[in-house]
Structure 1
């Protein structure tokens, strides 16, 4: 008898949500926690880098492209790809689709408004 693999059947994956809009960040965190993921959060790229340096359990970074601070989500994604190659990356934006060349290798882009099912499917690809 075949059994489908459910997120709860696997070791828990930790996702770092990087989003400057508090309500969007909290909503995304709730979605991920309900789907069985551990969640860490940051309001900008600088805070995300501090978390990544101190949390070796982070496996996926889900970052908004448009953020205030020293770098946007695309620059953060490029830095993550260089410094932590095994970490998977999902970038998102409500202001259009970035050029393909701006998105790091193996990273995925999801347009806003985020669709719950598409977010879950993207995470399953990386979990």
Structure 2
């Protein structure tokens, strides 16, 4: 079962050209920004995306490292980032997915002549076929 609320430490690495963002507990979860405020929002967005994909693929999601245990360099600061996935999980599941299909030319011509919305018809037919 997936949980809705997550809080993880992010490391903000300050350089002349901006802030690099990483998460010690979320391998490959990175972002960057030009200000602290932007870094906070970019960190939340990156973390949210990482967690949604991890859930989708059944990847293990590590427990967060306590903030006091995050090892930092002189130009770095640890920041707690929180996300609630409930809203985003539903939006992620309902995102549009492009499919390519083949139908007879005569059927395509007739449907186009009648201004048929192909996506709507396919969705309706799939729901009916799958009893959802």
Q: Which of the two has higher C-alpha Rg?
A: 2
| TM-score (norm: length of structure 1) | 0.23
| TM-score (norm: length of structure 2) | 0.22
Greater relative contact order: 1 or 2 (C-alpha under 8 angstroms, separation 6 or more)? Answer: 2
